[in-house]
Amino acid sequence: MKRGLLSTIACAGLLMLSWAAGTAAAQSNRDDESWYRTRDSYFTGNDWKMRLFERVRLDLDHVQTVAFAGTDEYRIVHTKEQVGELQGKLAEGKYDQPQLDEVIAGLERVVADNRLTARDRDMLNDDLSRVRDYRTHHEDWH
């Protein structure tokens, strides 16, 4: 009788654990959806152009929260540092092509070498496209 009771308790515990994990996953999916919708709405109009690199950093922050530890995270952190350095120069009114090229190369490495979801890879590829566009047309970027 004890074995049957323990088995029933164990099954009930597993069911509750599964339910809790499912609920947490559903909440996480809703949070992710909200985050992506907010990101997409960021690019309406032209105001985003003045804050492109701020957005790139936010996207890298988001990816860092789901990245695998180790070299994946290192690439993200290093790229965020490069973006920060570039932002500092741009804030001083200095366009630094080599620094911009380093940011682009860093983003390319994160996209190519990190274990990302397809959606996060697409998001960073979108950032990469916008940064490349900035490099080509920075004189008119207002």
pLDDT at 3: 64
Cα angle 86, 89, 95; round to 5: 90
Q: How far lies 43's CA from each of 4, 38, 55, 66, in Å? A: 59, 9, 10, 23
Q: What is the pLDDT of residue 21?
A: 47
Contact (Cβ atoms closer than 8 angstroms) between residue 33 and residue 119 = no
Distance from CA of residue 110 to its chain's centroid? 10
Tokens of 79: 């790229």
Which stretches in the chain have pLDDT values below 50?
A: 19, 21-28
Instruction: Tell me how far apart the alpha carbons of residues 114 and 75 are, in angstroms, rounded to a whole number.
Output: 8
Cα gap 4→15, rounded to integer Å: 16
Residue 38: the pLDDT is 82
pLDDT of residue 129: 97
pLDDT of residue 40: 79
The closest alpha carbon to 79, from 62, 98, 56, 97, belongs to 56
